[in-house]
């Protein structure tokens, strides 16, 4: 996969994850899920930092982890 496509996919994954986070009401989450929410937010922040630092592969990996975890949280 070329870098430009990977960058676009990473940004899209970051945006979708942020959108999912907005659908979650933290006050309705169980304690363990609140920890997961903090993990998602941390992954997202690190993904943005990696993208800014031109570390596209790392950014994608972090964004993907954040997305999958956020997806789990929205299904609960």
**How far from 21 is each of 2, 3, 4, 12, 57, CA to CA, in Å?**
29, 27, 26, 14, 23
Q: Tens of pLDDT along the chain (76 residues)?
A: 699 999 999 999 999 999 999 999 999 999 999 999 999 999 999 999 999 999 999 999 999 999 999 999 988 7
pLDDT at residue 76 in the model = 73
Model's pTM, two decimal places? 0.91
| The predicted structure's pLDDT at residue 1 | 65
């Amino acid at each position: 996969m070329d870098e430009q496509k990977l960058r676009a996919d990473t940004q899209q994954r970051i945006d979708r994850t942020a959108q999912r986070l907005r659908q979650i009401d933290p006050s309705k989450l169980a304690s363990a899920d609140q920890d997961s929410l903090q993990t998602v937010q941390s992954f997202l922040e690190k993904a943005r930092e990696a993208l800014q630092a031109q570390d596209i592969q790392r950014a994608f990996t972090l964004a993907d982890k954040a997305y999958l975890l956020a997806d789990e949280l929205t299904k609960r």
